[in-house]
Amino acid sequence: MRKPMSMDETPQDARKRNRKVAMATIVGSMLEWYDFYLYATMASIAFSKVFFDGSDPNTATLAAFSTFAIGFIARPFGGILFGYLGDKIGRKRMLSYTFALMGTCTACIGLIPSYQAIGIWAPILLVIFRIAQGLGAGAELAGAAVTSYEHADADRKGRQGAWPALGLNLGLLFSSLTVYALSLGSDEFLLNDGWRIPFILSFALVFVGIWVRRALPETPEYAEAKAEKRGSPSLRTLFRTSLPSVILVFVLAIGYNSLSYIYKTFSLAYLVQFKGVSASVTSLSVTIASLVAIFAVPTFGWLCDRYSSRSVLIVGGIIAALFGYPFLALLNTGEEMAVYLALIIGTGIIAPMMFAPQGSFLSRQFPVHIRSTGVGTSREIGTAIAGGLAPLGALSLVAYSPTNSTIGVAMILIVSGIFVSTASFFDQGYKYTNHKN
């Protein structure tokens, strides 16, 4: 059933509005996640050598990944704060605020002197900017997903809800392509301040993102709920009225993010540190995988409208669990083609299969007046736990294994896939919507 348009809005007006929404969510998410994944990539390649004492490579690598994990500690606070404000004063304004916060902090990371130059102050400044960056990232997905979902007609919730996932993979593509280009000559240029170039360029990206999101209209569903004064957003209201949805989204976020960050982050550090694979190979593998994902995301969004976001998530979780051992077996060869294949399947197909449905699936778990708070709070608490600890824990299991075994990492992947499928099975969205997506 198609959602009726406003009496004052013509079909041409609706198409124009959705073009603006597409531009704001896809381009904005692309630029924001370019920043975020750039940090993840450099944490696995350069930061251990730039910001920490390199006399013990294993310890320095774990320290660099710890700063990556620290950003996740800030994410729930960003999700709660900006999620609440998104319900209180509107989706549009929050998207601009979070973008400006994250982009500015990313650029500042590119200006931090090295450990050799300022000693302990280098990692301290890195942690400060990483925390602020995490606050912005914690609100981005919830705001973009809810905005896309609420602008969509009932029969296009899956496709439009997947727009932030498309932006994410475009950001992943551009960040990995940038690292690949910088590392073409040798890893030496990347380590000798070449890594700073894409970070400092974020100053320019901030202005682009804010300009794009200024044109974003407020969502019709939010405007209608606000006019009718359907309810007041608060954490108390959220936990009192929607606790099953909070638990469901929390578990789903743990499962998906454990898989995603092992695919995208752990694998890069593991290949560089334990298999001697160059940064150019690892970054090119992510580039190719993200190119595949750009086509996979719209396909899975369409499948959500055809079958349901719940069904796509359940199948995606099962496939992810089955792929756990084969993924690591491919990485363990250290061969370029095997690495490319592993990342294409994991990052290019399986991760989009579980991420593309989330815009519609997560949004419909909560009523409009607490939707931004619900998605931001529940998802980001789960993301903080899984996204911060999964790659760090996986790397620790390998580093402190006498044989550098990846068996423990495979178990994490299997359990995470089961989490995704199980959480999706207990869909609560029927309580708040009359459509499957």
CATH number for the domain that contains residue 140: 1.20.1250.20
Interatomic CA distance for residues 58 and 54, integer angstroms? 9
Q: pLDDT tier at 436 (50, 70, 90 boundaries)?
A: low
- Residue 1 within any structural domain of the chain: no
- Say which residue, 134 or 37, is predicted with more confidence: 134
Interatomic CA distance for residues 257 and 131, integer angstroms? 18
Interatomic CA distance for residues 141 and 143, integer angstroms? 5
On the CB side of 1, CA atoms within 13 Å amount to 6
Q: What is the pLDDT of residues 82-128, one digit of tens each?
A: 888 889 888 888 888 887 888 888 889 999 998 888 888 888 898 89
* Residue 359 structural domain: 16-431
- Residue 11 within any structural domain of the chain: no
> Given this model, what pLDDT does residue 134 score?
82
Q: Which of 93, 91, 125, 124 is nearest to 108 (CA)?
A: 125
Interatomic CA distance for residues 207 and 44, integer angstroms? 28
- Residue 384 within any structural domain of the chain: yes
Counting residues of the chain whose pLDDT is more than 70, the rounded percentage is 94
Q: What is the pLDDT of residues 160-217, one digit of tens each?
A: 999 989 988 888 788 878 877 877 766 677 778 888 888 888 888 778 777 877 777 8
- Residue 218 within any structural domain of the chain: yes
User: For 252-265, what is the mean pLDDT?
Assistant: 92
> Given this model, what pLDDT does residue 1 score?
38
b/e string for 85-124 if b means 16 or more Cβ within 10 A? bbbbebbbbbbbbbbbbbbbbbbbbbebeebeeeeeebbe
Residue 3 clears pLDDT 60, i.e. is over it: no
Q: pLDDT tier at 413 (50, 70, 90 boundaries)?
A: very high
For residue 125, give every residue at least 6 positions away whose Cβ sits within 8 Å of its Cβ, in sequence order, or none: 112
Sign of CA dihedral 300, 304, 307, 310: positive
Q: What is the pLDDT of residues 205-241, one digit of tens each?
A: 778 777 877 777 888 888 888 877 777 788 899 999 9
- Residue 4 within any structural domain of the chain: no
- Residue 3 within any structural domain of the chain: no
> Given this model, what pLDDT does residue 5 score?
46
User: For 5-20, what is the mean pLDDT?
Assistant: 71
Residue 254 clears pLDDT 90, i.e. is over it: yes
Indicate the number of domains in the chain.
1
Q: Hey, what are 116's tokens?
A: 């050799």
Q: Which conformational region is residue 290 in: left (phi greater than 0), alpha (psi within -120 to 50 degrees), or beta? A: alpha
Residues 91, 28 contacting (CB under 8 angstroms): no
- Residue 258 within any structural domain of the chain: yes
Interatomic CA distance for residues 254 and 51, integer angstroms? 29
> Given this model, what pLDDT does residue 301 score?
96
- Residue 348 within any structural domain of the chain: yes
